[in-house]
Chain A
């Protein structure tokens, strides 16, 4: 039982409730605003009682829970809090695999002499996180990643659960297939249509027929359903890309406005790239037209980039050459990939003046919060939503 899965409860919403005590106990929805076409990023447990859930369109969330407090996300703030939490996790084991901003695996093999049993470590983590960041974190303990994550899901919120062999034999067979790692609502629906509702159903189903639904991953899922998962906790899980996208409240065609949004996206994404001590060799923009056609343009550079304005210039150039400049768009996205560690990059002779400015802006954001400083060209924006 050496694998811990740690997951912050309703992360964005909890951070906002922590920073705005008047919101404690109220339904809080972070994400798109009600009048917009954005979606819910996170909602507090109070909002979940009304049936609101992540990735739900903001409009629908508003219908379900009109009294909720809707807030736009403050990603830089969440990144800072997340880093604090991950630093706490790191105290207990060097083998940490971040799954997302609010979720990580920890392999505590060999750490018991220092810190005690896995359950004791989990308690210390929960205590440290609450004391130091004011947030609740759920921890699942099991022999592998799948079961540890399952333990967290079953015990949330503010959970702590250890899934031993006896519990697994008892709990696992009756769980719905949607609890299996990697089975989303679509696959779950197809399994249900085939008469497979629970994990036990899946294990009894003929393998060859199962393959028509699950494809090449069939064996992996069968393993998971048997409680087996041999994937190691990868301490330096290589990030493939860092990106962000905006769904506009109304379709946008105004080039000036789109350019401004592109700048804002560039600044957000570049800030995250720099914070991760990475440098990007590919910049990609994504544009979705009102008829839901999605177009991407990307450029790969010999030279790694991490400066706000450099990424913006590349993105802007691609936007203008995409053939979609001036056309109506409903979504705009920007991402950086081919990420390499910044300190392994070949050093440069000429300092980029953009780097110096970015450094100053980053320092101010880190110290005073992401609202403390902004590029002048991002002021006077029309109302919109992330």
Chain B
């Protein structure tokens, strides 16, 4: 195997792919990145730890010799990333078991795995389920995935739910049980079958690295209980989280007693300051209290150790019950406020008393919303 490639091109692919390789040393070849070169397909790189697999390819190379090699993914990607811009020549020396990397008058080599049997990713029986613009998928994941749990004894909460109904509505949902993020998109594919699956957060993070604003679409397919996200020159295969996602529609309140319109920017800034308050010993969750009254809200954060912060936000429109005292997890609200601030001047908060879950949404856009459970702070 021998080929010539621009460093930028090489680095773009290897930095996407190497992250699927295993960090553990239990099965050595899974720490590898498979580099394949053929006249037909160009350069293809593959890595998998069997939970997730990524394949990326490019035709932008000059092939001198076809062939393949497996090298340690992390060593390879780290090294390539730091190469100077320019042409790189990669050449396999089978006898010496090394992969030579030549750049300008300099060179290095990485030891290869010999006589390996690299696992085949199950791509043969791929069945396409839906297609959507990659910008939409990117937006949906950005607006929802933060709400999933970092760890939870119910595995389903550590993933993002894709729920496709008969009416071609795709709902993307994430929740750690205290908050829920919901995104809805009307697919224009024909004859879609209802389908529901949960992808791990790690898969979401890898997807977000590759999705961009370009007009290209992303295909979602299935193969042997794996979900496959693919577009030109890129395939991401992931195992699914097993289990049934609980009925999320049930926990989105359909009624409210107060509807509040408030400047997204003002809330965001107040919450950023409130976040500096350390947690108190009793209630080990950072929290802020909101006192809504007539046309203003007083935001209070208190910490026995540090002190107190009280902010008044004016020009708040309140419909329905005007006097409400409610407390929220500071970080949870902040996550939502950050998104709202980048999307809309005012955010809409629908409340159902001090203990009912609140809905936070963009008043001009019904395709996404957040449900946030208030805290019982005892005052």
Contact = CB atoms under 8 A, between A and B. Distances in A.
Bound pair (A, B)? yes
B283 A344 contact: yes
Nearest to B357: A349
B27 interface: no
Contacts of A347: 178, 355, 373-376
B350 interface: no
B285 interface: yes
Contact of B376 (A301, A343, A349): A343
Interface stretch (A112-120, A219-227, A265-273, A302-310): A302-310
Nearest to B252: A349
A257 interface: no
B153 A350 contact: no
A310 B371 contact: no
A348 interface: yes
A344 B282 contact: yes
A303 B153 contact: yes
Interface stretch (B144-152, B199-207, B209-217, B336-344): B144-152
Contacts of A30: none
Contact of A344 (B178, B251, B373, B378): B378
Interface string A321-344: 000000000000000000010011
Interface in B344-365: 355, 357
A311 to B, nearest CB: 9
B266 interface: no
A305 B153 CA distance: 9
A313 B374 CA distance: 29
A208 interface: no
A83 B375 CA distance: 29
A301 B251 contact: no
Interface in B242-286: 246, 251, 282-285
B153 A349 contact: no
A349 B373 contact: yes
A346 interface: yes
B175 interface: yes
B177 interface: yes
Interface string A66-96: 0000000000000000000000000000000
B175 A313 contact: no
A314 interface: yes
A350 B251 contact: yes
B293 interface: no
A303 B152 contact: yes
Nearest to A309: B153
B168 interface: no
Interface in B175-228: 175-180
Contacts, number: 54
Interface string A292-305: 00000000011101
B180 A302 contact: no
A350 B177 contact: yes
B149 A303 contact: yes
Nearest to A343: B376
Interface residues of B, number: 27
A344 B153 CA distance: 20
B151 A301 contact: yes
B329 interface: yes
A348 B373 contact: yes
Contacts of B150: 302
Given A302-B152, A303-B153, A344-B283, A350 B376 contact: no
Contacts of B376: 343-344, 347
Nearest to A300: B151
A346 B179 CA distance: 10
B284 A303 contact: no
Interface string A341-363: 00110111110100000000000
B175 A301 contact: no
Nearest to A346: B178
Interface in A9-38: none
Contacts of A352: 154
Contacts of A343: 376, 378
A302 B373 contact: no
Contacts of B152: 301-303
A340 B374 CA distance: 18
Contacts of B179: 349
Interface of B: 149-154, 175-180, 246, 251, 282-285, 329, 355, 357, 371, 373-376, 378
11 contacts: A301-B152, A303-B176, A303-B177, A314-B153, A343-B376, A344-B282, A344-B283, A346-B329, A346-B375, A347-B373, A347-B376
Given A301-B151, A347-B355, A348-B178, 15 more contacts: A303-B177, A343-B376, A344-B283, A344-B376, A344-B378, A346-B285, A347-B373, A347-B375, A349-B175, A349-B178, A349-B179, A349-B180, A349-B357, A350-B177, A350-B246
Q: Across chains A and B, which 4 residue pairs bring their CB atoms closest together, nearest first?
A: A348-B177, A349-B251, A350-B246, A346-B178
